[in-house]
A and B are shown apart, each in its own frame.
Chain A
């Protein structure tokens, strides 16, 4: 139980275009979702926390106009990388908090390459 489905798993886009990453909670309602970024051989860096029906809370240094987060329902949160540039290339992972049990579940990640 408590699975988060993230897609796409890989995406290549051209500089200047936008890319949307989706995370869906399959068998539970995710009131809160977290978006992380991970550089090669580095740990997960929290980008923002999204709560269903309200604006996301961004971590210091994360551009909210570049990384648009929408959490319109209890089962879907999206991250849109706008006007992507090569330096936005990274591994993006979503996570949801689950009540009881293991606490947090993670998506399988999206490898974004901007060319």
Chain B
């Protein structure tokens, strides 16, 4: 069975304290791994797409990496405005023409000033 697992469920950091969020996947065929940020009461906001092992992408304080089994979202020197729920999602080869995403349960990040 295809599974996407995120850890930790919740993470509290002090401002400036760098850390990483994990998204591990057990899927039959990966056609893309996506990272989203979701603020309370809002829809997900796109951050990154990764397609192949070894790929890395950066945006401001965030950096996403991908291996054959997992992805990490590294947050460097976070600020309180980085507080949000971070979701990872995979698009599977088996989703075929539908191309739907399968989401992990998310990591709720709180950055304290």
Contacts and interface: CB of A to CB of B under 8 A. Distances in A.
A43 interface: yes
Interface string B84-109: 00010101000000111111111010
Given A41-B108, A103-B34, A46 B42 contact: no
A109 B98 contact: no
A34 B34 CA distance: 16
- What secondary structure prevails in chain A residues at the interface with B? strand
A80 interface: no
Nearest to B106: A43
- What secondary structure prevails in chain B residues at the interface with A? strand
A107 B87 contact: no
Interface stretch (B14-22, B43-51, B70-78): B43-51
B43 A107 contact: yes
A104 B106 contact: no
B29 interface: no
Contacts of B87: 43-44
Given A44-B87, A57-B98, A103-B34, A93 B43 contact: yes
A60 interface: no
Interface residues of A, number: 24
B42 A97 contact: no
Given A49-B100, A97-B99, A109 B41 contact: yes
B32 interface: yes
A40 to B, nearest CB: 10
A102 B36 CA distance: 11
Interface of B: 32, 34, 36, 41-46, 49, 87, 89, 91, 98-106, 108
Given A102-B46, A106-B45, 12 more contacts: A32-B99, A42-B106, A44-B44, A45-B103, A57-B98, A93-B43, A106-B36, A106-B43, A106-B44, A107-B43, A109-B42, A111-B41
